[in-house]
């Protein structure tokens, strides 16, 4: 992660859902490039503080802030606390997502799963983008990145996938509208991860593991760091003429 050190010096980033997984990788990558980072979490204060400690070990400033991104008041408070701590927000990554595949969520009704994913993944991206836009207004140098899903471009035939696709497809459409609305001062782009080895991927059965690898032209699962690399580019000066675009990080399973 050291190759781009200095690209984001003096920048402040808010990364939602960054106490673990893809969000943690994004927060650390942006810090490695020179950004100060607000680590957002919903439940695990200890994990968020650990990520913040990793960021400070890289020589950057960090704060951990709890906020449920499905609630406007809490998202607005997240933005306010970031501004109080660092004086500005230049980068906002809407990464937070609802987990309906592991733990107690596996026993939820389909309607409850739908409601939670829509609230966190879609409404959360909308609320976060609005809070970010307000904080960045007038600066002329803002960057928002929203996290979608590669299979919204191709479909997947199971009930859980339909829920995710509805929310993450909404994130993609929302982002394109925001890219037009907020230009030229704020760029809005999307990363669409595919099969990434996060908490769910670590526990899959051997048959599923093999099927993912076999279906992926690049022959492996993705890593959180693979997704973070795409975000690093989209918020960097190198992407200053890029907005309304989607980078698919899926090893070629879905080719846009």
The structure tokens listed for 64 are 């951990």
Which residues, in sequence order, are bridge partners of residue 63?
38
Going by C-beta distance under 8 Å and a sequence separation of 6 or more, which residues neighbour residue 162?
A: none
Going by C-beta distance under 8 Å and a sequence separation of 6 or more, which residues neighbour residue 158?
A: none
Annotated active-site residue 164? The verdict is yes
Q: In what order do the strands lie in the sheet with 142-147?
A: 62-66, 36-41, 12-15, 91-94, 142-147, 186-193, 246-249
The structure tokens listed for 179 are 């890219």
118 DSSP 8-state letter: I
The structure tokens listed for 106 are 């596996």
Strands 142-147 vs 62-66: parallel, antiparallel or unpaired = unpaired
CB–CB of 129/144 below 8 Å? yes
* 10 Cα distance to chain centroid: 21
Catalytic residue among 41, 92, 164, 221: 164
* 63 Cα distance to chain centroid: 17
Reference 192, options 145, 159, 160, 238; nearest CA is 145
3-state secondary structure of 1: coil
Q: What positions carry a catalytic annotation?
A: 164
């Amino acid at each position: 992660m050291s190759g781009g050190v200095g690209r984001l010096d003096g920048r402040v980033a808010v990364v939602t859902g960054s106490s673990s997984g893809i969000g943690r990788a994004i927060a650390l990558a942006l810090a490695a490039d020179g950004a100060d980072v607000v680590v957002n979490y919903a439940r695990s204060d200890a994990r968020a503080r650990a990520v913040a400690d990793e960021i400070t070990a890289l020589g950057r400033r960090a704060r951990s802030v709890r906020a449920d991104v499905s609630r406007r008041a809490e998202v607005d408070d997240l933005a306010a606390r970031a501004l109080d701590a660092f004086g500005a927000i230049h980068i906002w990554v809407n990464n937070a997502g609802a987990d309906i595949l592991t733990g107690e969520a596996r026993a939820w009704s389909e309607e409850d799963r739908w409601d939670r994913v829509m609230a966190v993944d879609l409404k959360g991206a909308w609320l976060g983008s609005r809070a970010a836009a307000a904080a960045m207004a007038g600066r002329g140098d803002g960057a928002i990145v929203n996290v979608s899903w590669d299979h919204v471009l191709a479909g997947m035939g199971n009930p859980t996938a339909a829920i995710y696709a509805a929310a993450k497809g909404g994130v993609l459409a929302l982002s394109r509208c925001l890219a037009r609305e907020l230009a030229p001062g704020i760029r809005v782009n999307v990363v669409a991860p595919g099969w990434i080895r996060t908490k769910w991927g670590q526990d899959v059965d051997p048959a599923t593991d093999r099927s993912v690898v076999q279906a992926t032209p690049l022959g492996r699962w993705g890593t959180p760091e693979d997704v973070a690399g795409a975000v690093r580019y989209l918020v960097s000066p190198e992407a200053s003429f890029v907005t309304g675009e989607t980078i698919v990080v899926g090893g070629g399973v879905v080719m846009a």
